Chains A and B, each alone.
Chain A
Amino acid sequence: MPSEIRSKAFDPWKETQDYQCNHLSAGKYGATASFVGTMRDFNQGDDVTSMTLEHYPGMTESYLDKICDEAKQRWNLLDCLIVHRVGDIHPNDPIVLTVVWSAHRKEAFDACRYLMEELKSRAPFWKKEGLTEGHRWVDKNTPG
């Protein structure tokens, strides 16, 4: 599966290496572009101590797969991967990983950006931040 939801911490570098070893043919890919989103300990001027990521089971997975399929139709890609956290997250934990493999760098860069931007605008995830005092829902993502 090109996309996965994880409820526990993951290592984006190991995920990339494992997927590449298991799904890509050596010698065929010349470009690997990846993006890792990591939880910050600040947002909008406040200290953020934790975060809970909620999703819509079924719909979220379906949209991540759709976004991967769209990227493969739009660019000449060998493969792509999305891994996204849900549940309780702490500062410095990886939240999201997007990786694209292609023969040439332009497709890899462009498609990797596309995966992230589409994911942020369409995949049903919601963030709730834990602050020093209380919690708050994140109302909108910052622009890319």
Chain B
Amino acid sequence: MSITVKFFARLREQVGTGDVSIDTAKNVQSAWDQATNGMSMPDNTLCAINMEYVDSTEAVSDGDEVAFFPPVTGGCYAQ
């Protein structure tokens, strides 16, 4: 088993890849550290496990999909 780590939008560009596979991680922060080779996580980063929002302290299990992305900006931008 392994853990799939995904990056979206600006984070994908900063990390340089959209998809990384790692062997194991104790939590979301640890998955980030391994997948980015120790880059610091931007303060406003949102995290998800298996497509549900979680905190960076959340535990990760084998087979999970962990995702990192910036604040979301969908919809219109009309005031």
B48 at the interface (CB under 8 A from A): yes
Confirm or deny: A126 has a beta carbon within 8 angstroms of a beta carbon on chain B: yes
Residues of B within 8 A of A140 (CB): 71, 73
- Nearest Cβ distance between residue A111 and chain B, in whole angstroms? 15
| Nearest-neighbor residue (CB-CB) of A120 within chain B | B75
Task: Determine whether the beta carbon of B77 is less than 8 Å from that of A123.
Answer: no
Count of B residues near A, CB < 8 Å?
Answer: 20
A62 to B51, Cβ gap below 8 A?
Answer: yes
User: A56-B8, A56-B51, A126-B8 given as contacts; is B69 within 8 A of A141 (CB)?
Assistant: no
Residues in chain A near residue B46, CB distance under 8 A: 124
Pick the residue among B6, B72, B78 that contacts A126 (CB under 8 A): B72
Known: A59-B48, A124-B69, A126-B70. A119 touches B75 (CB 8 A): yes
Given contacts A56-B51, A124-B8, A137-B70, contact A143 B79 (CB under 8 A): yes
B67 within 8 A of A: yes
Q: Which residue of A lies closest to B72 (CB)?
A: A124
Provide the main secondary structure of the chain B interface.
loop
Q: Which residues of A contact B79 (CB under 8 A)?
A: 142-144
Checking A43, A84, A121, A122 against B77 with a beta-carbon cut-off of 8 angstroms, the contacting residue is: A43
Nearest CB in chain A to that of B6: its residue? A56
Which A residues lie within 8 Å of B10 (CB)?
Answer: 126, 137
A44 and chain B: residue at smallest CB distance: B77
A45 contacts B by Cβ under 8 Å: no
A79 to B62 CA separation, bound complex (whole angstroms): 39
A139 to B69, CA, bound (A): 11
Give the nearest-CB partner of B70 in chain A: A126
Question: A residues within 8 A CB of B9?
Answer: 54, 126, 128, 137
Q: A120-B72, A138-B77, A141-B74 are in contact. List 9 more A-B contacts (CB 8 A).
A: A43-B77, A96-B75, A116-B75, A120-B75, A123-B75, A128-B9, A140-B73, A141-B73, A142-B77
